[in-house]
Structures are given as C-alpha cells and as structure tokens.
Chain A
Amino acid sequence: MKGWMWWVAVFALAALVPLFGPSGYVLDIGVNIMIYAILAYGLNVLLGYTGQLPLAHAGFFGIGAYATGILTLKLGWSFWLAWPVAVAISALAGLLLGLVAFRTKGDTFAIFTLGVGVIIMLVINKWDALTGGNDGLNGIMPPAGLEALSKSVGLKLSGGFYYLALISLALTVIAVARARGSVFGRSLIAIRGGDDLARSAGIDVYSHKLRAMMLSTAIAGFAGGLYATYLGFLGSAATGPIQTFTILLYLLVGGLGTLAGPLLGPALMYTLAQNLKGLQDYQYIVFGPLLVLLIMFAPQGIAGLWMRLTARRTPPPAAPPTQKEASRAGS
C-alpha cells in the first residue's frame, strides 16, 4: 500500500465517524485531536525537518486565535475573512521573530524563542483593552453558515465543526507533505544536517530558515483560528510555554520529522489524557515514565517504530551490496 493511500483511507474513515451519530463528547475529542495535530504539524516543519527547536510555538497559536477572536468580536469581521488574515498575521509575526532569532543557533535559539513565547503570553495576558486580559475573550461566534450547513445534511453544529477540522487537517497535511517533498524541503533537510554543511553546499540558510519559520507559524495561527471559533472563549493560558511543551511531547511521541507523527502523537496522548483526567495532576505519574520508555525504546516515536517494524518484515527487493562491493563498483 502506497503512502498516500494510507492517508486517503485514514481520512475516509475519519469522515465516516459523525454519520454513526456519536456522542458530542466523542466529536469534541476528535476536534481537539485535530487542532492539536495541526499545531504539531507546524512544529514539525521547524523541529522535524529544519532541525530548529522553537519554543514560542504556542505563542503563534495564540496570535492566530486572538487575531481571529478580536477581528470577529471587536471589528465584526466574518470568520471566513478573519481566519486567513489571522494566518497571515501569524506568518508575519513568525518572520519578525525569525529575523532576529535566526542570528542565534542551537540551544541559544531555543532559549531565545522560549523567552519570546513567554513575552507573547504576557502581552496577551496584560493587554486588557485588546485581549480582555485575565478575563479572556468571550463569545466568539461559530463560523457564519456552519450551523445551517450542518443542519441541511442532518448534523448538529458539533458535526459541522468536526468536518471543518477534518478539512483543515487535510489541507495542513497536504501543505506540509508538499513542502517536505520539494526542492525547498530538501534544503530544509540539508539545514537540519548542519548549518555549515548546508551553507557550503550553496544553500542560503538564513532565508530558508525564515521561510520554514513562516510556514510553521502560519500553520500554528491556522490551528489558533479554528480553536478560537470552536471554543468561543480564549484565555492566555493556552498561548504559553506549557502549551508549547505539550505539543512538543505529542510530536515526540508521534515521531519527529515524519508525516504521520504529528497526527499519531496527539491522537494517542490527547485520548490518554482525557481518560486520566480523574487523576488530575497525578496523571503525570503515568506520562513521565511513558515518555522515558519512549525515548529509550522508540526515539523516533510511534511512526519511527512502525517504520522499523515494517522494514524488518518486508525484505528489500534486491540484496543491497555490501560496503566493499559498493565502493568497488564506485571506484
């Protein structure tokens, strides 16, 4: 089965779910998983493909969410206009951060962006006039026409939101898969292997990093807009470093640098977290050891584990030449 066929099958199955009349709770978990998955895809562009660890990711999720909320609530824009504008604002904010942050490398970059992430959350939390401060933004409306459209096909609004999230996720997967499989994406992989090597191979490292950052933050803003209209309420807590590290955990569990990982991670971890909610803070007693085991036995996450298992099961079409033969044939 080819890669894209898996994806079609997964999305087709996911699209069938609302037709069986599931409870609102199941649909809610589905929508949340998809929002987190989109967010994880954004992080994967920078961390998984380009090898840069940005710790302000939830900040851009917040910028997208609050831009959508403010444009619809305070300026009365339609969601369908506010959403793409919020994505553009997130991309632009990412560009501004990148212009400065990419003067640093490695750990310094991670720490710098962590600081920026905290600042974004604080600004959102303190700017009462614009963001509602501690009280947050209340009463963001569902997208115009979504409820009517849902009713016309016999679904509730929650079913409509489910399909909106599913389409958004599909668009994100297509965009990321295309970016990864392109001439541009190969250059990102080259940068992941080391700035200096990429530079001497003739790649304009700075400009490629900037564009990867914009794609990453645009996707974060895309998830943010969806989150804003779905929840109807925004608080600054969802835009801070804890949220960033949650996404990072999801991505690590799913599989860094893979196309399936950003979906598998949230699907597993969010479901698990919902089931462990009764434990409250003690749920970390489950999460902690799980993460340790994962790093020990499956450093490439679930997707990496899957690839390793299937690679072992299916023998390669022709025996690859041994090292000696390979070099002899090459010389």
Chain B
Amino acid sequence: MLEVKNLGIHFGGNHAVQDVTASIEAGKITAIIGPNGAGKSTFFNLISGFYQPTSGSIQFLGQDITRLPTHDVVARGIARTFQTTTIYRELSVLDNAMIGHRVRTRAGLWDALLRTGRERHDEEESRAGGMAALERVGLAAQAGLPAGALTQEGQKRVGIAMALSSDPKLLLLDEPAAGMNPEETVNLMALIRELVVGGLSVVLVEHKMSLVMGLADEILVMHHGQKIAEGTPAQVSRDPAVIEAYLGSHAHGGQMGQATNGDAPAPGAVQLTKESKHA
C-alpha cells in the first residue's frame, strides 16, 4: 500500500535517512526498529509529509505523495501520532477527536459567519466522527473530560482517536508505548490488534522489544539512516547485520540494554525475542 523508493533526506551534511527502499503491506502491523539516531522518526516524518525528502519518492495506493503538504497526506488516508502525549490537554477529549475530523469537512469562515447548512452539517458530522473514533479507542465515556485529566495511557488513546477520526487507511504510531507501564502496554497492544482486525494498516516506531516482537507482522530495521534488514520478527532477530548493529551500538554506550536484562549479553545471544519481558 505504501511504496518508498530510494528515500533520503539530509540536514546540512547529516544524512538522517539515506536511500531507503521499502514497501508497507496493507492489513499488517509493520514495526520500524533500530538504535537511537537510526533515523526511524525522521523516516516517519518523511512518510507523513512532515518533512520534504531531498531524494526518492513515496507512493501511497498507487499515487505519488512525495511532495504533498501534511494535511493533504492526511486527506489521502495517512494519519499519525507523536512520540510524547501530544494532544490538546486543555480541550475536552471529544474536541480533540473532532479536530482530527476537520480534514473530512469543508465548512469555512463564511459558513461559520452565516451559519449555513454546510456548517450545521459539518458540525454534526464532526461530532459523530469524533464520537466514533472515541468508541474505537474506548474513551466514549470520557468524551466530556478535559484531555489533560486522563492518565498517560488515556492521553495516548486520545492521540490515537485524533488520528482515527480523520478516517485513515494507514496509521503511523511514533513510540506508542513510551512512558507506559507493562499493564498499560498490554492494553495498548490489544487496541492496536483490534484496529488492524477492523481493516486498518499500522506502522509503528518502538523501542520496547516486547511490544515489537509480540505485535509486528513485519519488521524493518534501520541503522545510520539506512535500512539494514526486513522480515518477520523471527527472521530479523537472527539477522547478523541486526545483531551487529545492536551490539555495536551497545559497545559504544548505545541502548542495547533495552532489549536485554541488563546483563552483558554473550555474542549471538541477543534477546531480540518474545521472551524478553523486561523492556
């Protein structure tokens, strides 16, 4: 559904993402992993139209979206959430969701001033779309609360609802489990699975290996801005290049520890597997 060809971006002389070619399949959960600074988030920002690539192309459902502004990308059906709980904390949960539905409505300033039929129709549509999204993430009962009053997990769900109310085909989640405890992480994984069963395709960037290994159908591994491996969790965790990347970064004080128990891992015994419960 999403085809990325030779995608690259550089900031000054720093090639944050370089020559990445990949394809994201519909109806699956694809995880993008890699050590810190591997270019995962930048790659995300490229797909969602947040950054303009300096080379390469992005095709979504057969259409070129490489140079489209973000709101057009959202209109085509790609929605995203942010690493932190970036939502409108002072607004109600429902208002947050309704903001995400804006891209499906057309009422403008004149409609507002003259209270046209389109304004009334779009307002009702926004409310319905927002509520539907809240029901999908299980927040319908909290619709009237200020979003900032919810827990971390609740706020993450608000962020996902905001993305869902734009009626996307592909959902991009940037570190959805960051700052969550294990119980919350399990809840979130269940939610993501439900969404995919409902017909959505999901791409996520994540550090928590338990989540990635337990959830992803496909994994794409990045290192130094380049794609170094691609495949099922089982394939990827055996890939020598992947093990090398993680060990290498660990040796330089990297963050391999996230996937291990904190014990110095013996070469070849990298716990990139489901059994790693300590992430």
Q: How large is the interface on B (under 10, 10 to 19, 20 to 34, 35 or more residues)?
A: 35 or more
**Is B71 among interface residues, defined by CB-CB distance under 8 A?**
yes
Interface residue A313 (Cβ < 8 Å from any Cβ of B): no
Q: Do residues A201 and B166 form an inter-chain contact, with CB atoms below 8 A?
A: yes
Residues of B within 8 A of A201 (CB): 74, 99-100, 102-103, 162-163, 166
Q: In the complex, are the beta carbons of A183 and B105 less than 8 A apart? A: yes
Complex Cα gap A229–B99 (Å): 42
Determine chain B's interface SS by DSSP, over half rule: helix
Cα–Cα, bound, A184→B99 (Å): 10
- In the bound complex, residues from chain B placing their C-beta under 8 Å from that of A321 are 142, 145
Complex Cα distance, B206 from A68, in Å, reads: 60
In angstroms, Cα B87 to Cα A43, docked, is: 26
**Nearest CB on A from B188, distance (A):** 9
Question: B62-104 interface mask toward A, CB cutoff 8 Å, 1 = contact, 0 = none?
Answer: 0000000111001100011010001110010001001110110
Given A187-B99, A326-B154, A327-B150, A203 contacting B112 (CB threshold 8 A): no
A-chain residues with CB within 8 Å of residue B111 when the two chains form the complex: 182-184
Check if A329 sits within 8 Å of B141, measured CB to CB: yes
- Among the listed B48, B86, B98, B157, which residue makes an inter-chain contact with A330, where contact means beta carbons less than 8 Å apart? B157
Least CB distance from A238 to B in Å reads 27
If A190-B99, A327-B150 touch, whether A202 touches B166 (CB-CB below 8 Å) is yes
Task: Establish whether residues A215 and B100, one from each chain, have CB atoms under 8 Å apart when the complex forms.
Answer: no
The contact string, 1 if C-beta is below 8 Å from chain B, for chain A 316-328, is 0000110110110
B122 at the interface (CB under 8 A from A): yes
Return B262 CB to nearest CB of chain A, in Å: 29
Interface assignment of A152: CB less than 8 Å from any CB of chain B: no
Q: Is the CB of B113 within 8 A of A186?
A: no
Q: Which of A184, A197, A205 is the one whose CB lies under 8 Å from B109?
A: A184
Q: Indicate whether A178 sits within 8 Å of B115 (C-beta atoms), given known contacts A199-B70, A203-B103, A330-B157.
A: yes
Q: Cβ of B95: which chain A residues have Cβ within 8 Å of it?
A: 186, 189
A178 and B145 form a contact (CB under 8 A):
no
A residues within 8 Å of B by Cβ?
175, 178-179, 181-187, 189-190, 193-194, 196-205, 211, 214-215, 320-321, 323-324, 326-327, 329-331
- 18 of the cross-chain contacts (CB-CB < 8 Å) are A183-B105, A183-B107, A183-B112, A183-B123, A184-B107, A187-B99, A199-B70, A200-B70, A201-B74, A201-B102, A201-B103, A202-B75, A320-B149, A323-B149, A326-B154, A329-B141, A330-B137, A331-B153
